[in-house]
């Protein structure tokens, strides 16, 4: 199973990667990114309801976050390469399919996708398939950019425990990390079974920014065995699949207890 970052982001996410702590919606940083070709133009989606324009949204390949990080760290040539790759990806068939689906859903559902969430129902299932297709293509592009200088550390995993002040992020086959719950809430990943990614961007020798961002799984759990809460020795008692989470969140099956009764004549 492969866990990757949510493949589409808003313009604000791109700007925050370039100017951490900046004001949301700031125009100047994005103009700087575009003028130096450190960011793509994004994809404009016109959403219609009842035959009328209901709203417009812009979505960007998540590669733009990396190109903005590279630009901030002075890796300008690498930033341009990644931004160009994002531009190509946004012009591809995977993004075209995603744009088509987003144009047919309510504005609130399109906003949810930009935040890393899927709407419920059939529309959510179709959007999930389209997003995974974009994510796979994005990972293919990332793998091709072998010459990039690493500018951030990435920890990907699944939320396996939720407590009042923190959640536990478990890496598949790796260690667990406690994450402040407010960070998981901001990433819409504060429920058991959610895919969460921590990106640590070093600023100086003793300081860094840590961003919690939504993740998405590219594959199903290969294990054929269903989840059981009694298998505490198994790693799956701490790392559950989306199917497991769906079962556990459903209505419990009534417990039937058979008690033998002896009736004497």
Determine the 3-state secondary structure of 169 from DSSP. strand
Check residue 96 and give its pLDDT.
95
- Give, in degrees to the nearest 5, the angle at Cα 152 between 17 and 206: 95
Find where tokens 């100017």 sit.
19
Residue 34 in any domain: the answer is yes
Q: What is the mean pLDDT of the chain?
A: 86
CATH number at residue 197: 2.40.50
Low-confidence ranges of the chain (pLDDT < 50): 146, 221-224, 236
First to last CA, the chain: 63
Check residue 21 and give its pLDDT.
79
CA 104 to chain centre: 22
Check residue 103 and give its pLDDT.
92
Check residue 117 and give its pLDDT.
94
Does the reported pTM lie above 0.95? no
Check residue 262 and give its pLDDT.
82
Which of residues 124, 149, 174 is at a domain's end? 149
- In terms of residue numbers, what domain contains 72? 1-149
- Based on the structure, what is the number of domains in the chain? 2
Residue 263 in any domain: the answer is no
Which of residues 113, 134, 149 is at a domain's end? 149
pLDDT digits (tens, 9 = 90+) for 118-144: 988 888 899 999 999 999 999 988 887
């Amino acid at each position: 199973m492969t866990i990757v970052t949510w493949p589409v982001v808003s313009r604000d996410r791109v700007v925050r990667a370039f100017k951490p702590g900046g004001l949301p919606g700031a125009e100047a940083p994005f103009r700087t990114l575009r003028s130096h070709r450190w960011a793509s133009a994004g994809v404009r989606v016109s959403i219609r309801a009842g035959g009328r324009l209901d709203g417009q949204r812009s979505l960007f390949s998540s590669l733009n976050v990396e190109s903005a990080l590279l630009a901030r760290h002075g890796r300008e040539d690498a930033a341009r390469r990644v931004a160009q790759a994002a531009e190509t990806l946004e012009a591809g068939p995977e993004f075209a399919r995603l744009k088509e689906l987003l144009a047919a859903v309510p504005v609130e559902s399109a906003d949810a996708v930009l935040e890393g969430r899927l709407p419920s129902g059939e529309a959510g299932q179709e959007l999930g398939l389209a997003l995974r297709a974009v994510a796979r293509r994005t990972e293919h592009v990332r793998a091709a950019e072998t010459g990039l200088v690493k500018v951030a550390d990435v920890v990907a995993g699944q939320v396996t425990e939720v407590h009042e002040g923190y959640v536990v992020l478990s890496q598949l086959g790796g260690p667990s990390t406690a994450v402040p719950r407010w960070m998981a809430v901001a990433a819409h990943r504060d429920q058991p079974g959610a895919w969460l990614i921590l990106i640590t961007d070093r600023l100086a020798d003793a300081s860094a920014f840590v961003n919690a961002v939504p993740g998405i799984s590219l594959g199903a759990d290969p294990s054929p065995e269903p989840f059981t809460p009694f298998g505490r020795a198994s790693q799956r008692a701490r790392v559950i699949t989306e199917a497991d989470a769906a079962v556990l969140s459903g209505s419990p099956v009534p417990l039937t207890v058979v008690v033998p009764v002896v009736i004497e004549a």
